[in-house]
Structure 1
């Protein structure tokens, strides 16, 4: 039976590992000491081991839940219900800590993919893998992580410690260019003579020089449609080969040159400086005191709340931001919330967002919170779950700006914007699908001035082309002066 003590011990042990890994992320942000990078080779294996330990605990909790359900007639209903509730809370604590670990893995991986956004987009289109593979598969992947850190001059970046890398098991990273130049699918064979065999199925942009196998793994480059060299000695499962070929095709698609994609008609590409509200978020973090939320607002409809998560409470399932949790955070803040309302509008509303969710599973074209230009200590506290950061946003400010630009708005019964229309040279421009902009505005990563500029550029471009058109706006956020290793 899983005990409360075993849960606490596992969580605090994971915390220690994460704290040791954070200085590397701080350095990749451009704020840490380069000496921290001496621990770079061990980052992946240390995070792998921490996640594997937590996932074993998670599986133990799931197993006990199944056993309790199967034997529920042998115990009192009251005891059964109490135990099941406790197991659910334990499991959520463990999941929260796994999520924090993968947020560190995402921050680590994003630095290497910063110049490869289109490949990152291909990854994020696939379904996320919530856990490391069990059993022999996990042992094989760990052997590669520990023993094959470099593939020739390319670094092996392991996907299992992230939420966002989902095609293949490893990326081959060109460290000079900080680009993905290959993808690797690892397949593990059953142990023989005390050793496991690992075959690496590789799709790369250029031919690779094969490294020597590590002490506890074997590496064989395979042709995309052929089994490993020793396959003739084994019986190959047809389903295995079908799955492998599908995975290899997915890797090929991910590695394709974005210039070869012919289903996108690029109308215009413009660059602008993002005016954002990161300084206001920093202010909310500074206003926070033990046991009391820090608050800061903007004149564009934001109220940011930084809530300290003390002790074991920081692992509370409330971190997932249930409606009740949001209500508790903003209880007693009537005056502050009224300050973001517009007195002359009938479409005032409050949209609630948890910015902690911005640290994992991030969009390929957005800037992950781990790299926002906030105070590094503030970022650390958010990423490691010590602070819950919440934004309350009034979209009426956005609606008013659109009306000032000449758009007529269509709102649903809940006052959500469904469409905005504007006549340009006897043709109608119709904007839809505003959830993307709501999210960027609410989290403070873009300002109303940025949105207005993008819409104005789109209007001017459409005016010169004629005919009916469907246009997507894709903001891609970049850092100024991205950090680089040793330069």
Structure 2
């Protein structure tokens, strides 16, 4: 049951990645225009099918626990370990699916980074609503996918859209027309009722919906209990406040600089790696990428990789990793260290960090994206951050270290002004896990520090800055899917 569900999802995810490729900058094929409208429904159906199996496994866990006193304890422990293993594998595949959904939604939301940050302030819902709620949301998406030139983006197939159930995007301007909330009920066996509430700070963008003649056997309007009405009122308030706050922040936001990445090196090494040994490339002064293929490139195998641990021995093929690590050692040995990581080995690795963009929009070919996200290729990264620290020193920063000598921050003194930068591990992660070049990280730090100094009012203060990484120029005026 679990393997079959993963195999079916893998097939759908591969199709979705081919649709996404042009949105990430890769060449579109002839089926692109026809495939885009079907993208959300196919991805939603794949996620729904996976979640049904996930819920069955969780129900089996509860059933086994309830019978624990009557069971052989050794069998009980083995069964619980196996069910936990299934749960983890399914959660990982669901994370892959929603990372793909993130890429689709981000393409339309990319010019609204302030609103994205408002969404991120709220807790992420790990699963779709059960039963009638999920059915109502799917039927609404199916029947209102595009209405009066507004595209419905369904939040349930993403990780970063967390306020409301959907967003309406104006396809001519790529402006957010509204955020919406859905309530569903089933008055009888033949009907599903949904009530749609829209919230907007620009009523001119709201869709004009033409009234239609109701069906002859239309059931009575959905009844809303006082508790439901109160909850909806609070939800509307959250949606309006988020839209309003994002609009204000957008007016004063400083433009981000275009960033550069090691995607070319990553594409090349994934394409040329095989199953015999790791292939390596020195992508930057302190950054090495290694890749090995886990199985045949033509064969779908996500269930095998996750359930049979097919990639467990792949790391043993990295016998020449020490030699490549030596290639990025600095002459200034006081700062040398080595960070070793993998791409997308854990569920959380597929969620883009704050300020960055989804991995499914990396400008790679759909075949390479599938190899990476669907666990057909293992990628190991080696990062020596000493090169970054030395470059910061060259720009006039003084490094801050802990008792073990690890760099934890940097500071600069300009006259009477002391500026300190903390959380440097975030920037090293942007290199190791999200392929950003060291030069772009330095430029980003300079931009953030200049912004912080601009906010200084003469008193000691802590400034939290939002990092906004750009991959393309602002395309709001040129994007138009109706052309």
Of residues 1, 17, 20 in structure 2, which corresponds to 1:25? 20
CA-based RMSD of the aligned residues comes to 3.4
Of residues 386, 410, 420 in structure 2, which corresponds to 1:420? 410
Q: Kindly indicate whether the alpha-carbon contact (under 8 Å) linking 1:188 and 1:198 is maintained by their aligned counterparts in 2.
A: yes
* Alignment deviations for residues 19-47 of structure 1 (CA, whole Å, 9 cap, x no partner): 23232112323422253221222222221
Taking a change above 3 Å as real, the CA distance of residues 270 and 132 of structure 1, as seen in their structure-2 partners, is closer
TM-score, normalised to structure 2, is 0.84
Q: Secondary structure at the match of 1:422?
A: strand
TM-score, normalised to structure 1, is 0.84
Corresponding residue of 2:458: 467
The structural deviation recorded for 1:252 is: 0.9
Aligned pairs, number = 463
Q: Kindly indicate whether the alpha-carbon contact (under 8 Å) linking 1:282 and 1:375 is maintained by their aligned counterparts in 2.
A: yes
Q: Which runs of 5+ in 1 are unaligned?
A: 1-5, 220-228
Q: Secondary structure at the match of 1:182?
A: strand
Q: Secondary structure at the match of 2:86?
A: helix
The structural deviation recorded for 1:381 is: 2.0
Q: Kindly indicate whether the alpha-carbon contact (under 8 Å) linking 1:55 and 1:131 is maintained by their aligned counterparts in 2.
A: yes
* Alignment pair present for 1:167 and 2:163: yes
Pairing of 1:26-425 with structure 2 (within 5 A)? 26-30=21-25, 31-192=27-188, 194-204=190-200, 205-206=202-203, 207-212=206-211, 230=221, 234=223, 236-238=225-227, 240-256=228-244, 258-261=246-249, 269=254, 272-310=257-295, 311=301, 312-315=303-306, 333-356=321-344, 360-363=350-353, 365-425=355-415
Q: Kindly indicate whether the alpha-carbon contact (under 8 Å) linking 1:302 and 1:340 is maintained by their aligned counterparts in 2.
A: yes
**Greater alpha carbon shift after TM alignment, 142-151 vs 161-170:** 142-151
Q: Secondary structure at the match of 2:392?
A: helix
Taking a change above 3 Å as real, the CA distance of residues 8 and 235 of structure 1, as seen in their structure-2 partners, is closer
The structural deviation recorded for 1:160 is: 0.7
The structural deviation recorded for 1:460 is: 6.2
Alpha-carbon distance in 2 for matches of 1:127, 1:394: 34
Alpha-carbon distance in 1 for matches of 2:314, 2:405: 20
Q: Which runs of 5+ in 2 are unaligned?
A: 296-300
Taking a change above 3 Å as real, the CA distance of residues 213 and 55 of structure 1, as seen in their structure-2 partners, is farther
Q: Kindly indicate whether the alpha-carbon contact (under 8 Å) linking 2:167 and 2:179 is maintained by their aligned counterparts in 1.
A: yes
**Greater alpha carbon shift after TM alignment, 325-334 vs 53-62:** 325-334
Taking a change above 3 Å as real, the CA distance of residues 107 and 212 of structure 1, as seen in their structure-2 partners, is farther
Alpha-carbon distance in 2 for matches of 1:422, 1:136: 57
Alpha-carbon distance in 1 for matches of 2:389, 2:366: 34
Greater relative CO (CA pairs within 8 A, separation 6+): 2
Q: Secondary structure at the match of 2:356?
A: coil
The structural deviation recorded for 1:118 is: 1.6
